[in-house]
Amino acid sequence: MPAAFRNPVTLALIVLALIILLGSTFSIVPETRQAVVVRFGEPVAIYNPYKANESFGKTGAGIKARLPFADQVVWIDKRIQSVEMERQQVLSTDQLRLQVDAFARYRIVNPLRMYISAGTEERVEDALRPILGSALRNELGKRTFAALLSPERGQVMNNIEAGLDRVARQYGAEVIDVRIKRADLPDGTPLQSAFQRMRTARQQEALTIRAQGEKQAQIIRAEADATAAKIYAESFGKDAGFYDFYRAMQAYRRTFDPKANGETSIILSPDNDFLREFRGR
């Protein structure tokens, strides 16, 4: 052994140099990333590029070697990422305003293209965000307010997705989907007038329910009256003359009842039928 290797300082330096050399030669490519290898500014290789429907374990991830010091690795996320659009006001064709929050999900499928056209992932996101906004405004602006709430919305979303995807391809990205997170009426007058409309609709409903209830009640009463009349007629109609008498007797009893209100004084003529026998004829 040469003496130089026994000196711990030299030894440490050598080990350090080896580590640096190893580190700049081998890199561990995780499943979640892809990389472009750049040699003096010129892209020479791509590690672990995205392929559709590949299963993990069969990807290009793992340990990779490169030319030390000359090659530089640019890491690019391989996972699905999202770009969110800040709240936007969208005007529908029937001049109604809607506040829309949307997000798009994308994945960088062509790392080389992305590296050439955008450089970094942040720039891709920055480029996509305003395009998402304008695509959304354009597409939603062609529809009526009601259409934005209907199942037709799916078609709208597909159009936006297609429009955004066209642009995203230029940055080596693929748009997976675009979704509206929220679509609300803007605060202030539109919201208040919507509330007012709901309120009046409820009041209308309340009044209708009340009126319907009254109607039903009246019908029930009338039916009861009719049934009673029928029962009376069936029974009393057997002998109208006797009914007249019978009912009169009942009426007298009730009318002249001393317990009823009012004092009763009766002045009878001797010609009265009741007093017929009184005369002793």
Partner 1 sequence: MREKRYALSRRFASFLKRPVLAMAQGPWGGKPGDSDGTGDGEASDGASEGPRNPWTQPSGGGRREGSEGSGRRSSLIDDLMQRSRKGFGGGGGGGPRGGFPGGAEARSLWPIALAIIVILWIALTSFHRIGPQERGVVLLFGKYSRTLSPGIGLTLPSPLETVETVDVEEIRTIDIGSVAGDSENLVLTGDQNIIDLAYSVRWNIRDAELYKFQIADPDSTIREVAESAMRSVVATVSLTDALGAGRTAIEQQVEQRMQDILNGYRAGVRVQGVAIKQADPPAAVNDAFKEVSAAQQAAQTYLNEARAYAQQLSARSEAESAAFDKVYEQYRLAPDVTRRRMYYETMEAILAETDKTVVETGNVTPYLPLSEVKRRAQAAQDNAASGQGGQ
166 makes contact with partner 1 (CB under 8 A): no
Among 77, 97, 133, 159, binds partner 1 (CB under 8 A): 77
Residues of span 139-158 touching partner 1 by CB under 8 A: 145-146, 149-151, 153
Among 15, 18, 62, 126, binds partner 1 (CB under 8 A): 62
| Sequence-distant (≥ 6) Cβ neighbours of residue 257 within 8 angstroms | none
80 makes contact with partner 1 (CB under 8 A): yes
Handedness of CA 195, 201, 207, 209 (dihedral sign): negative
At its nearest, how many Å lie between partner 1 and the CB of residue 161? 12
126 makes contact with partner 1 (CB under 8 A): no
Residues of span 15-34 touching partner 1 by CB under 8 A: 28-32
Question: Is the Cβ–Cβ distance between 73 and 80 less than 8 Å?
Answer: no
Pairing of strands 33-39, 71-77: antiparallel
Name the helix (H) or strand (E) containing 27: strand 26-29
54 makes contact with partner 1 (CB under 8 A): no
Name the helix (H) or strand (E) containing 175: strand 173-184
At its nearest, how many Å lie between partner 1 and the CB of residue 138? 20
Among 41, 56, 95, 122, binds partner 1 (CB under 8 A): 56
Question: What region, left, alpha or beta, does residue 47 occupy, with left being phi > 0 and alpha being psi -120 to 50 degrees?
Answer: beta
The mark string for 102-121 relative to partner 1 (x by CB under 8 A, - otherwise) is -x-x----------------
The alpha carbon torsion through 192, 179, 160, 121 (nearest 10 deg) reads: 120
Residue count, binding to partner 1 (CB under 8 A): 96
Q: How far is CA 31 from CA 9, 35, 45, 211, in A?
A: 39, 11, 17, 69
13 makes contact with partner 1 (CB under 8 A): no
86 makes contact with partner 1 (CB under 8 A): no
123 makes contact with partner 1 (CB under 8 A): no
Residues of span 201-230 touching partner 1 by CB under 8 A: 201-203, 205-207, 209-210, 212-214, 216-221, 223-225, 227-229
9 makes contact with partner 1 (CB under 8 A): no
Complex with partner 1: residue 40 or 75, whichever CB lies closer: 75
Residues 98-126 as b/e (b if ≥16 CB within 10 A, e otherwise) read bbbebebebbbbbbbbbbeebeebeebbe
51 makes contact with partner 1 (CB under 8 A): no
238 makes contact with partner 1 (CB under 8 A): yes
63 makes contact with partner 1 (CB under 8 A): yes
1 makes contact with partner 1 (CB under 8 A): no
Q: Which amino acid is located at 150 in the chain?
A: S
Eight-class DSSP state of 98: E
